[in-house]
Amino acid sequence: MRLILSVLLLTLAPLAAPVHAQGYPERPVTLVVPFAAGGPSDAIGRVIAQRMSRELKQQIVIENVAGVGGTLGSARVVKAAPDGYTLLINDLALPSAPLLKRNLTFNVRADLVPVGVLNTGPMVLIARRTLGIASVGDLAARMKGDSTPLNLGHSGIGSNSHMCGLLLQASIGAKVTEVAYRGAGPAMNDLVGGTLDIMCEQTATALPQVQGGSVVALAVTSAARLPALPSVPTMIEAGHAGFEFVLWHGLYAPSGTPKPIIDVLSQAMNASLDDPEIRARYAEMGRSELPPDARTPAAHAARLEAEIERLRGLLEGAGVKPQE
């Protein structure tokens, strides 16, 4: 009897190994964007979701779960079943979360599985048209000289725009009044409407407003100028040595998601990123994809770990401490 059972198990083992990926996905997949609709993560997520839907032959549905610097949406995915049907797109708000929030309800390293790196790109320092400034030098003079501080909008504690704003204040040596929003979309609406003074925003949402003349671009945060904004200097060119802030978006699944499913998702993501149409769409947003070997799940995990340590140095250098 024991021999028969052993033979049966050996016979079934090859069939059981890939069972988690067989037929996956059999229904629509939810991609959680942890910021408000209309922001950069939302725009980038919708582009990749549409293209990956073709690869997976199932629709990927966007769900915006905004709030608390992107941690509400991330927590939603952490708590989801690890079956490949609930995914997360996030940027530097994820690796910064344990550095900025004492009471984080999840472990960034342990509770999420990296699927792959989607793209990378800088931020753009922008101001409302009616503020009357045209350069970083003008902004620094206003920040240091005005009795009433300028207000700076961001997408919540720990968001890219928040961290970029912190570095801006540290580099200039003057403070602003920070205004937290539930996402870049609402903040941009107020900037264009004239009730917000400045933002440090991702290219995906900043470029259309700059190119349309709705806001003024003061600088980009990459080491080199952005091809889409060739006349806009870098922060380094504007006199702020070492000011480089480049971000990236990653795709994640809940911890415990079977590797065969992660592999299916990774393959679909890579096929999508190799599509010239997707590359062109991301280029229009001021973003670029990484080489294939730099966007694998393993490379993504290594990048996440390195980013946590890099941001730790940046935030500690800016005097930023964790908040409740």
- Asked if the model's pLDDT at residue 11 lies above 60, the reply is no
Q: What is the mean pLDDT of residues 212-240?
A: 96
Does 237 map to a domain? Answer: no
Does 7 map to a domain? Answer: no
Q: Are residues 116 and 188 in the same domain?
A: no
Q: Which domain holds residue 88?
A: 28-120+248-317
Of the candidates 83, 38, 33, 22, the one whose C-alpha atom is nearest the C-alpha of residue 62 is 33
Round the average pLDDT of the chain to a whole number and report it: 90
Q: Are residues 111 and 141 in the same domain?
A: no
Q: Are residues 303 and 275 in the same domain?
A: yes
Q: What is the CATH number of the domain that holds 277?
A: 3.40.190.150
* Residue 13's pLDDT band (cuts 50, 70, 90): very low
Q: In this predicted structure, what is the pLDDT of residue 57?
A: 97
Does 234 map to a domain? Answer: no
Q: Are residues 155 and 215 in the same domain?
A: yes
Q: Torsion angle of alpha carbons 128, 131, 134, 138, nearest 10°?
A: -130
Q: Are residues 44 and 186 in the same domain?
A: no
Tell me which H or E stretch contains 120.
Answer: strand 112-128
Q: In this predicted structure, what is the pLDDT of residue 36?
A: 87
Does 115 map to a domain? Answer: yes
Q: Is 229 within 8 Å of 206 (Cβ atoms)?
A: no
Collapsing DSSP to helix, strand or coil, 199 comes out as: strand
Q: Are residues 194 and 140 in the same domain?
A: yes
Does 14 map to a domain? Answer: no
HSE-up (13 A, CA, CB side) for residue 133: 20
Q: In this predicted structure, what is the pLDDT of residue 19?
A: 42
Does 175 map to a domain? Answer: yes
Does 19 map to a domain? Answer: no
Q: What is the pLDDT of residues 22-77, one digit of tens each?
A: 799 999 999 999 998 988 899 999 999 999 999 999 999 999 999 888 899 999 99
Domain count, the chain: 2
Kindly give the interhelix angle for 297-317 and 93-100, rounded to the nearest 10 degrees.
50
Q: Are residues 214 and 274 in the same domain?
A: no
Q: What is the pLDDT of residues 281-291, one digit of tens each?
A: 999 999 999 99
Q: In this predicted structure, what is the pLDDT of residue 21?
A: 66
* Residue 20's pLDDT band (cuts 50, 70, 90): low
Q: Is 89 within 8 Å of 33 (Cβ atoms)?
A: yes
Q: In this predicted structure, what is the pLDDT of residue 63?
A: 98
Q: What is the pLDDT of residues 90-114, one digit of tens each?
A: 999 999 999 988 889 999 999 999 9
DSSP codes of every residue in 170-236: HHHT---EEEE-SSHHHHHHHHHHTS--EEEEEHHHHHHHHHTTSEEEEEESSSS--TTSTTSPBTT
Of the candidates 30, 83, 22, the one whose C-alpha atom is nearest the C-alpha of residue 52 is 30
